[in-house]
């Protein structure tokens, strides 16, 4: 599969370029960076997604950009019917629902995951299971100081998944500090006891197996799939 990475010079985009480049069954056809920065030598870089898709043959676009940029990327890819794997966070839950409806109407495909790390997906799954047994729960998410959105997409999604089981207030606390990558604790409380479910991404390589899995599975899905769990735990 021929892969184009939007946001190729960013922290995540550069890591995705390396992972795709190293995958024997995938071909990195280029990256998009508004300032023309290349993640590493030999990767063709385009100034914007529109030009890139005019010039390169692409089977899937991977997007790790910003909440402002990703929406126009989605419009462009939907218009050209090119599937997307999206890691960019900052979507509102209702907005994702609207994209799901449009994608089915227009026969477009995308996988959007707020977190591609297997451990984080399991943390969300276990928090969803545990909340049925506890009176109260709170989420603390910790990220590097440059992160643009708060609360994180992972924390917001964790709360949605937990509230599917038990409608209750689940506060989210956001910590932004240098030295952190991406970490989250779900703390559940009952009289006399707490249960803490914690996940740490200490390096961005933690997200790569999930991103590569999503790229490889994209031909098999329909519409917009939100959450890696739908391709990890289900035989699609």
Question: Which residues are catalytically annotated?
Answer: 143, 147
Cα 197 to the chain's mean position, in Å? 20
152 near 117, Cβ under 8 Å?
Answer: no
Shortest distance (Å) from residue 134 CB to ligand NAP: 26
Residue 11 interacts with ligand NAP (CB under 6 A): yes or no: yes
- Which is nearer to ligand NAP, 166 or 216 (by Cβ)? 216
Residues 18-47 that bind ligand NAP (CB under 6 A): 32-35
- Which is nearer to ligand NAP, 171 or 209 (by Cβ)? 209
- Which is nearer to ligand NAP, 158 or 188 (by Cβ)? 158
Distance CA 116, CA 118 (A): 6
Among 30, 39, 83, 114, binds ligand NAP (CB under 6 A): 114
Residue 6 interacts with ligand NAP (CB under 6 A): yes or no: yes
Shortest distance (Å) from residue 179 CB to ligand NAP: 15
Helix (H) or strand (E) holding 141: strand 136-143
- From residue 135, alpha-carbon distances to 43, 63, 127, 153 in Å are 52, 38, 13, 24
**Position of tokens 């996988």?**
111
Among 113, 131, 137, 208, binds ligand NAP (CB under 6 A): 113
| Binding mask of the shown chain, residues 151 to 180, with x at each position contacting ligand NAP by CB under 6 A | ------------------------------
Residue 184 interacts with ligand NAP (CB under 6 A): yes or no: no
Residue 231's contacts (CB-CB under 8 Å, 6 or more residues apart) are: 111, 213, 214, 217, 221, 225
Residue 85's contacts (CB-CB under 8 Å, 6 or more residues apart) are: 60, 61, 62, 63, 110, 111, 211, 214, 215, 218
Q: Which stretch binds ligand NAP (CB under 6 A): 110-118, 159-167, 183-191, 215-223?
A: 110-118
Q: Which residue is nearest to ligand NAP (CB)?
A: 10
Residue 58 interacts with ligand NAP (CB under 6 A): yes or no: no
Cα 91 to the chain's mean position, in Å? 11
Distance CA 4, CA 64 (A): 11
Number of shown-chain residues binding ligand NAP (CB under 6 A): 26
């Amino acid at each position: 599969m021929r892969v184009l990475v939007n946001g190729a010079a960013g922290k995540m985009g550069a890591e995705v370029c390396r992972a795709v480049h190293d995958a024997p069954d995938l071909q990195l056809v280029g990256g998009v960076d508004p300032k023309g920065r290349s993640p590493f030598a030999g990767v063709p870089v385009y100034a914007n997604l529109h030009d890139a898709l005019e010039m390169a043959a692409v089977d899937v676009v991977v997007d790790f950009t910003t909440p402002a940029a990703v929406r126009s990327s989605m419009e462009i890819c939907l218009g050209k019917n090119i599937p997307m794997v999206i890691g960019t966070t900052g979507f509102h839950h209702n907005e994702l629902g609207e994209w799901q409806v449009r994608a089915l109407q227009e026969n477009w495909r995308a996988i959007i995951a707020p977190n591609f790390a297997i451990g984080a997906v399991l943390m969300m799954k276990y928090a969803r299971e545990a909340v049925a047994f506890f009176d109260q729960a709170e989420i603390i998410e910790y990220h590097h100081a440059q992160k643009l959105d708060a609360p994180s997409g992972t924390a917001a999604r964790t709360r949605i998944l937990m509230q599917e089981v038990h409608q209750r207030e689940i506060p989210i606390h956001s910590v932004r500090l240098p030295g952190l990558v991406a970490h989250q604790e779900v703390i559940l409380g009952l009289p006399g006891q707490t249960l803490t479910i914690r996940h740490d991404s200490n390096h961005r390589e933690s997200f790569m197996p999930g991103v590569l899995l999503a790229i490889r599975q994209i031909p098999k899905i329909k519409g917009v799939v939100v959450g890696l769990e739908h391709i990890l735990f289900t035989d699609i």
